[in-house]
Amino acid sequence: MSTDLEIRIAAINWLNEQIKIHGDVLPSKKLEEEIEFKGSRIPLVSPQGIFKPRQMELPLSITTTPHGPYEDSIDKNDYLLYKYRGKDPQHRDNVGLRKAMERNVPLIYFHGILPGKYSAVFPVFIINDNPSELTFTVAADYEHVVVESEFVLSENEESRRAYITSQVKKRLHQRGFRERVLAAYRSQCAFCNLKHSELLDAAHIVPDDEPEGTPTVDNGLALCKIHHSAFDQCIIGVTPDYQIKIRTDILEEIDGPMLTYGFQKLHDQKLILPKSKKPGQTRTNLTGGTKKSSRPDPQKHKTLKFPAILCIRN
Ligand SMILES: [Zn+2]
C-alpha cells in the first residue's frame, strides 16, 4: 500500500474516532490538531480549502467555510460543486484535485456549519472537472467507511453516488440547522430557558414535510426535548406576539410539579427570542425573515411563519 493511501486511511480512522467523541459536528480546534503517522505529524485541514500535506502525493481534504451560500454549492443533480483555488486551472491545488479525480482517490470534505464548527463527509470523490465554471463536481460515498485499497467506479456506482450525495446534502443541511438555531437562541429552550444543549433540539415551526418548512433559522425554535414534543403535539403553542399558550385541558389538569412548572406556569409568558446579530439588525426571524428591526414589529406579524397557535384547541 502506498504511503499516500496509508495516510488517507489513518486520517479517516482518526476522524471516525473523533465523531464518536464529539458527534457529527466537529470543533475546528480539534481538526487543526495534527494526527500522528509513523513519527511525523500530519494536519488534515487547511484554510486554503484544497489541502495536501507535504507527506502526501495528492490532496487529502477539501473545505468550505461556513459563510458560503449553501445552495450555490449544489448542482442540479444534487452533486456538490467545489470551487477551484483561484482562477487558474493550472494552480497546483487544482492540478492536484484533477489528479485525484483521474485516479479516483477518496478525499475528506469538511463542510463549515458555523464559524469553528465543521461536519466531515468521507470518502468523497471528484467526478468531474468544469473549467468553464472553475469548479469540480464532488460525489459523496458511504460515510465513515474505512477505505479499502481499490476504487473502481462502475456505472451502477455512479447512480449510487448520486443518491448518497443527495442524502448527505440533506443530512448536512439538517446538522447545520440544529447548530444555527441553537446558536441563535444562545443554546436555551425558547419556552423554559433550559440551557443544556444536549437536551435541546432545533424544532421546525412549519413542519419540514411542508414546502414552507425550510431548515432555516426563521423557521426554527430551540426547544428542550419535552417542549419540542409538546409543541409538535400542539400541547404548547405561541401567539404571533410571542406569548406562550398551553392547551386548555392541560391547563386545567391537576398533577405533579412537571405539569405545574413545565407547562402551566409557562402560560401567557413571553417566548425567548433569538438574539440579534447586531443592534438594529434582524432581531428575530420569527418576524418573517431579514427585517431590519431591533424589536418585533406588530405590523409584520401578518407575515409570521408561526402557525403553531392555530393548532391550540382552546
Ligand atoms: Zn423547555
**Span from the CA of 164 to the centroid of ligand 1 (angstroms):** 35
- 265 and 300 belong to one structural domain: yes
Asked whether 31 and 45 are in contact (CB, 8 A), the reply is: yes
What is the model's pTM? 0.62
- Same domain? For 216 and 307 the reply is yes
CA–CA dist 125, 108 (Å, integer):
9
* CATH code of the domain covering residue 25: 2.30.280
**Grid coordinates in use for 46?**
487547511
Q: Say how many Å lie between the CA of residue 288 and the centre of ligand 1.
A: 23
Alpha helix positions (H), 23-91: 28-32
Same domain, 215 and 266: yes
Residues 93 and 222 in one domain: no
Task: Kindly state whether residues 92 and 207 are assigned to the same domain.
Answer: no
- DSSP state, 71? G
How many helical (H) and strand (E) elements, i.e. helices and strands, does the chain have? 7, 13
| Local structure of residue 270 (DSSP, 8 states) | B
pLDDT the model gives residue 68: 54
Q: What is the spatial distance between Cα 18 and Cα 15, in angstroms, rounded to a whole number?
A: 5
| Domain finish residue from 147, 181, 215 | 181
User: Regarding predicted confidence, which is higher, 89 or 294?
Assistant: 89
Residues 111 and 131 both lie in one domain: yes
Contacts of 272 (CB under 8 A, 6+ apart): 185, 188, 189, 190, 191, 193
Which of 124-138, 185-199, 288-302 ranks highest by mean pLDDT? Answer: 185-199
State in Å: Cα 209 to ligand 1 middle: 24
Angle at 128 between CA 126 and CA 132, to 5 degrees: 130
The answer on 215 and 126 residing in a single domain is no
Cα-Cα end-to-end distance for the chain: 69
- Which of 11-25, 34-48, 138-152, 259-273 holds the top average pLDDT? 259-273
Element (H, E) at 21: helix 3-22
For residue 67, the model assigns a pLDDT of: 64
Grid cell, residue 252, equals 386545567
Convert the pLDDT of each residue in 265-305 to its tens digit: 999 999 998 875 433 333 333 433 333 333 343 333 223 34
Which CA distances in Å does 137 have to 12, 48, 81, 153? 21, 18, 5, 15
14 and 83 belong to one structural domain: yes
Domain boundary among 128, 147, 181: 181
Q: How far apart are CA 281 and CA 295, in angstroms?
A: 9
- Burial class (CB within 10 angstroms; exposed 0-12, middle 13-18, buried 19+) of 264: middle
Q: How far is the CA of 227 from the centre of ligand 1 (A)?
A: 5
Residue 95 CB contacts under 8 Å (≥ 6 apart), including other chains: none
Residue 2 has pLDDT above 60, yes or no: yes
Which residue(s) pair with 129 in the sheet? 136
- Give yes or no for residue 201 having a pLDDT over 90: yes
Q: Which of 14-23, 113-122, 225-234 has the highest mean pLDDT?
A: 225-234
Same domain, 9 and 78: yes
Q: What is the mean pLDDT of residues 201-219?
A: 84
More confident residue, 153 or 33: 33
The pLDDT tens digits for 215-273 are 888 888 999 999 999 998 889 998 888 899 999 999 999 999 999 999 999 999 999 98
Centre of ligand 1 to C-alpha 201, Å, is: 10
User: Structural domain tally of the chain?
Assistant: 2
Its domain, for residue 295, covers 187-311
- Check pLDDT > 70 for residue 161: no
Whether 144 and 233 share a structural domain = no
The pLDDT > 90 percentage for the chain reads 33
Q: How far is the CA of 206 from the centre of ligand 1 (A)?
A: 19
Alpha helices in the chain (DSSP H): 3-22, 28-32, 92-102, 155-184, 225-232, 248-252, 257-262
186 alpha carbon, distance to own chain's centre: 17
Give 300's contacts (C-beta < 8 A, 6+ positions apart). Answer: 287, 288, 291, 293
User: What is the model's pLDDT at position 266?
Assistant: 96
Task: Mark whether 99 and 237 lie in a shared domain.
Answer: no
Cis omega before residue 215 (within 30°)?
A: no
Q: pLDDT confidence of 308, banded at 50, 70, 90?
A: very low
**Cα 262 to ligand 1 centre (Å):** 7
Neighbours of 244 (CB within 10 A): 22
CB neighbour burial string for 191-201, b if at least 16 within 10 angstroms, e if fewer: bbebeeeeebb
Domain boundary among 119, 151, 181: 181
Are 209 and 239 in the same domain? yes
Comparison of pLDDT for 168 and 285, the residue scoring more: 168
**Residues around the ion ligand 1 (C-beta < 5 A):** 189, 191-192, 194, 224, 227
